[in-house]
Amino acid sequence: MTRHNAIYYVQRDADGRLSRVEAAPYQGHTETLEASHAEILEWFADDVVGNSLNQLKQSDLDMIRVLEDLIDVLTTKGVLSITDLPEGARAKLLNRSSARKALGGLSNLIEEDAEGGLI
């Protein structure tokens, strides 16, 4: 069966909006809709957008850590001075640095990923 001919089992909320969509029957499903139905297409489009936004948010968090580490390396090597940065950037970096140092004493409570970054 191709996706275009697929049937989805759905459940609606009190307002009639889709609240659950599954490819297989499940207890509580109230109707079925074809894959080409506008509500099914919208449901999966929203799911793709939501997943993409979550990936971007995680990427932003990862990049923040990369930039912090880069600034630390550049200042340690004398290539950049913290005073070269705008006041707002300095304040944010110092606040994050203080928070990371405070957590350093709690390192046994914080898991590290394979590359040594915080999870």
Per-residue pLDDT of 6-52, as tens digits, reads 899 999 999 999 889 989 999 989 999 999 999 998 888 877 777 78
Closest C-alpha among 12, 7, 44 to residue 28: 12
Rg of the chain on CA atoms, in Å? 24
pLDDT at 96: 87
Contact 111, 117 (CB under 8 A): no
State the pLDDT confidence band at 1, using cuts at 50, 70 and 90: very low
10: buried, middle or exposed (CB in 10 Å: 19+, 13-18, 0-12)?
buried
pLDDT at 110 over 60: no
User: How many Å apart are CA 110 and CA 97, to the nearest integer?
Assistant: 16
Q: Domain residues of the chain, as ranges?
A: 3-80
Please state, in angstroms and rounded to a whole number, the distance separating the CA atoms of residues 23 and 8.
5
